[in-house]
Structure 1
Amino acid sequence: MLPDSGSIEHCTMSSEILGTNKAFSVYLPYGHEDGGQRYPVLYALHPAGGIHETWIKLGQLPQVADDAIRSGMAAPMIIVMPDASGMGEHHLGKRLGFFSVPGWDYEAYFHKELLPLIDATYRTAPDRKQRAILGASMGGEAAVAYAQKHPDLYGAACALSGLVGRPEQSRMAETDKDYAASLIANDPTARVKNGGPEDVEKWKRVRWYADCGDNDYFYEGNIEFFLAMKGKGIPLSYRMRSGAHDWHYWITGLAPVLHFVSVAFGGRAPAQVRPEREEKG
């Protein structure tokens, strides 16, 4: 590990909304512990079958973030990796996903408990322009849907191989009807198509990014999402590279995402914290 590398924390919080403990991991950029600065924050949502550590173990997120920050391609940022795994050995059972299902209000947990905890615990810049969200596959749909529902909370939203346009293509949806219903109810493409003028104006405040491989089984849905956004005049930075629905594609697409959200953050050095705020710690 290089001396100017970021660090990783693995944490657990008690959720009153879910009635259980939920794990999450956090990447802290080099210098975070030195104090005196606040950092933008990126939420990175995992694909189905993943857990809060998956972006670290399979997605090489700490290494990619360190390299992007060192090179100046990305601004120093805090990256939060929540857990939306399902039950069972392979994390694909009940309670899977970032959307709420009967008896499991995950979205309320995410926005009413996790986000406030992160802003209270770490040196974040708690402003929508300094908050972004990223997801791969299942997490990609959720990242876009969260920003559509809460444009007041996110300045940028990015999907890598997102399950958009045709969410019924999810293999897990065949066996879990609640999960399937949650995917369909939150489809970002349908929301864009059905959005009114006021919705469109709010969505234009968010920077949107989507990247899906030409050999990905979700590529048609991603193209439909791009066309829906274009049809409503909502800017979307769309990428289609050579590749499939796998971690190689997502790893190679991560650094451009970090650059994209850094532009959304404003490309400025982290703001200094006032001394009196620092003393209250």
Structure 2
Amino acid sequence: MKETPLPFWGETTATLDWCEENYIVHKYVAEFINTTTNLIFITLAIFGIYSTLKCGLPIRHAFGYAAIALIGMGSWCFHMTLLYEFQLLDELPMIYAACVLTHDIFETGEKRKFGLFLPLALFIYATSVTVAYLYINDPVFHQISYALLVMVLNFRSIYLLTQVPKGQTRILMKKLLFTSWTTFGLGFFLWNVDNIACHQLIAARRRMGMPLSHLLELHGWWHIGTAFGTYYWIVFSNYIRIILLHKENEYNIKWELGFVPYVAKINTTSKKEINNSKVE
């Protein structure tokens, strides 16, 4: 019998192999759509870092964007190769990025409120999850560890939202937080459908043929949903710190292309223009 040639990256060693059929689009990319949709993470991160530095915000505001860029690059490598070492490069940065965001949403003042306790606690958590995951080797453990941090982030966000005075600014912040939840939640829903109905989705994609079949690569939509959901939340986190520092008359939220928000420095003292920009 003729031996089947190995794929470009060799045998799959990852503990997860998603619903997208492997190496059907390109011989160098195991899961083409699941790989290329990570460009959303990287593009939003670059734009976030650029807009942060452009308007002169502290460098700490750029760390969250850099963290999601790391997730995008790790996920790209994982889905391109389906190798275990790159699976770790995809999953563990999710924990590290969530730790960075947790630090930012708790330290909202000019001076550190929690001193070294918070970064030390987050470092211990990230290290413990990393070591335990290497031994347990169960993706469910990683998912629970990540979900715990996401819950902390969201409860803290709700609390900080109550500290914003009622008015147009609070409406804007509610809009950002709700959009983050909705986008992330939709991505999570599609991720579950992709897992549960994989056989049906593969059959439907084969009937449709490429390129329309790519629309049913739901794990790719999960990447898009989580990238935008996380990006919206980082903008929320950065701007709510500005509000709590009583600097909202210096910065406002603008929207690129109508759906990509960013923090911008106000170049006019016109109160009317400031208010209009907040409710765009």
TM-score category by the smaller chain?
under 0.3
Question: TM-score, structure 2 length as denominator?
Answer: 0.27
If each structure's strand is expressed as a fraction of its own residues, which one has the higher value? 1
Question: TM-score, structure 1 length as denominator?
Answer: 0.27
If each structure's helix is expressed as a fraction of its own residues, which one has the higher value? 2
